[in-house]
């Protein structure tokens, strides 16, 4: 019985040997060190030589292994981002701003959430050690005192919405929370409201405490009702806004306006008001903070304090990359991004800004 002849393998079936940096150097007639200088961009290479090496890399299809390149450059081309949570539109917008900037510069992003747990914060920082070139941190549990313990003073770090020890070598970007909250209360007062309720954020959160301070100072300035029951607890989630709305509706004297310290809680509160048959803004005016994308699509559209969230992410990304390039020897900046009052139908004002 004749044996069937095995078909000769096609070129596509034959495994191809991985192209190495030595292959590139040999084909381009240069040393491995010269190829490495072209890849890292750290030291100058004569233009004709650089072009020949780049053409050889392209022709051979050479792609340096990430680990090998990090051994040469001592960089991972990855930036760590530590957040208190990764749920919700605020954090998705923030990550969008960071990621778009990092991609433009050829960097990757490693994102983790601390979930309000100090132990988890430490674990995440330890996990990132040696894997990232810099850090962007928005986490009330990871103050400036904990970071040097894991990274020393050489790691570029940008803190968002935090208080910082001035002796530490960190960049700091904050939001004008106090002025934004103060302006919102003044807006409600201009519409005739004096019994203005406030739904707080988490007690340990700097954004929340500054917004509460702005509310209280503005309430005092306009001689508003400052009954303790008008200030309700919250944690920046829709559910707590919903529960706070229910408690405010149960008061003997209901507020005429409710200001939630973020939009997510304002959306939850809006649901509670509508379930109870309360008209917004005819019966109770409602406002939030952050101006997340969904705010303009609620019914009625939500008046809010606009924070350019994606811009906050972009600014943080640019600063940490600047720190990476300067080996954290740059002059460290403390900057505050402004907020803007965005007036929509939920407060019943005639002026509506989209």
Read off the pLDDT of residues 322-343 as tens digits, 9 standing for 90 and up: 998 887 787 888 889 999 999 9
Helix (H) or strand (E) holding 330: none
Beta bridge partners of 198: 231, 259
pLDDT for res 9: 43
Helix (H) or strand (E) holding 205: none
pLDDT for res 8: 45
Q: Is 307 helix (H, G, I), strand (E, B) or coil?
A: coil
- Rounded distance, CA 88 to CA 52, Å? 49
pLDDT for res 21: 86
- Rounded distance, CA 22 to CA 272, Å? 67
> Please, what is the average pLDDT of the chain?
84
- Rounded distance, CA 129 to CA 146, Å? 13
- Rounded distance, CA 173 to CA 315, Å? 8
CB within 8 A of 69, min separation 6: which ones?
A: 39, 40, 75, 77
Q: Where are the beta strands (DSSP E) in the chain?
A: 78-83, 108-113, 134-137, 157-160, 171-175, 196-199, 231-232, 257-260, 285-290, 303-306, 334-337, 340-342
**Residue position matching structure tokens 């004297």:** 253
- Rounded distance, CA 354 to CA 352, Å? 7
Ramachandran angles phi, psi of 98, nearest 5° = -65, -50
pLDDT for res 354: 30
- Rounded distance, CA 198 to CA 269, Å? 11
Tell me the domains of the chain and their CATH numbers: 16-73 (1.10.260.40), 78-175+309-337 (3.40.50.2300), 177-308+341-347 (3.40.50.2300)
Series of mean pLDDT values for 10-residue runs along the chain (354 residues): 45 55 91 83 80 86 59 72 84 93 91 72 75 84 53 78 66 93 97 97 89 97 94 96 98 97 98 97 97 95 95 94 85 89 89 34
Evaluated on CA atoms 282, 284, 289, 291, the torsion sign reads negative
Ramachandran angles phi, psi of 302, nearest 5° = -90, 125
Nearest to 75 by CA among 46, 119, 106: 106
CB-CB contact of 211 with 181 (8 Å): yes
* Chain-centre distance for alpha carbon 248: 32
The token pair that represents 293 in the structure block:
């994308």
Q: Where are the beta strands (DSSP E) in 105-245?
A: 108-113, 134-137, 157-160, 171-175, 196-199, 231-232
CB 153: neighbour CB atoms within 10 A? 11
Beta bridge partners of 160: 173
Interval 1-36: pLDDT, tens: 444 444 444 444 334 567 888 889 999 999 988 988
């Amino acid at each position: 019985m004749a044996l069937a002849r095995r078909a000769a393998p096609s070129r596509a079936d034959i495994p191809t040997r991985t192209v190495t940096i030595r292959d590139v150097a040999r084909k381009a007639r240069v040393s491995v060190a010269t190829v490495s200088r072209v890849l890292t961009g750290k030291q100058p290479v004569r233009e004709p030589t650089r072009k020949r090496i780049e053409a050889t890399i392209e022709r051979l299809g050479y792609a340096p292994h990430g680990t090998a390149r990090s051994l040469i450059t001592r960089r991972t081309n990855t930036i760590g981002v530590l957040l208190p949570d990764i749920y919700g539109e605020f954090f998705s917008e923030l990550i969008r701003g960071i990621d778009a900037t990092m991609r433009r510069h050829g960097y990757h992003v490693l994102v983790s959430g601390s979930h309000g747990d100090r132990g988890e914060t430490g674990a995440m920082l330890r996990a990132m050690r040696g894997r990232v070139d810099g850090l962007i941190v928005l986490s009330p549990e990871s103050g400036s005192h904990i970071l040097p313990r894991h990274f020393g003073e050489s790691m570029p770090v940008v803190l968002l919405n935090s208080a910082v020890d001035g002796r530490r070598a960190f960049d700091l970007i904050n939001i004008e929370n106090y002025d934004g909250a103060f302006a919102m209360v003044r807006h409600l007062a201009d519409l005739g409201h004096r019994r203005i309720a406030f739904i707080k954020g988490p007690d340990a959160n700097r954004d929340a405490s500054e917004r509460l301070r702005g509310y209280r100072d503005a309430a005092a300035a306009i001689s508003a009702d400052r009954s303790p029951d008008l200030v309700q607890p919250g944690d920046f989630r829709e559910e707590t806004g919903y529960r706070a709305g229910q408690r405010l509706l149960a008061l003997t004297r209901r507020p005429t306006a409710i200001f939630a310290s973020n939009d997510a809680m304002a959306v939850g509160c809006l649901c509670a008001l509508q379930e109870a048959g309360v008209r917004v803004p005819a019966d109770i005016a409602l406002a939030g903070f952050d101006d997340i994308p969904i705010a303009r699509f609620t019914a009625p559209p939500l008046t809010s304090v606009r924070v350019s969230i994606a811009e906050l992410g972009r600014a943080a990304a640019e600063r940490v990359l600047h720190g990476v390039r300067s080996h954290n020897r740059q002059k460290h900046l403390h900057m505050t991004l402004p907020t803007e009052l965005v007036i929509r139908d939920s407060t019943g004002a005639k002026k509506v800004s989209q």
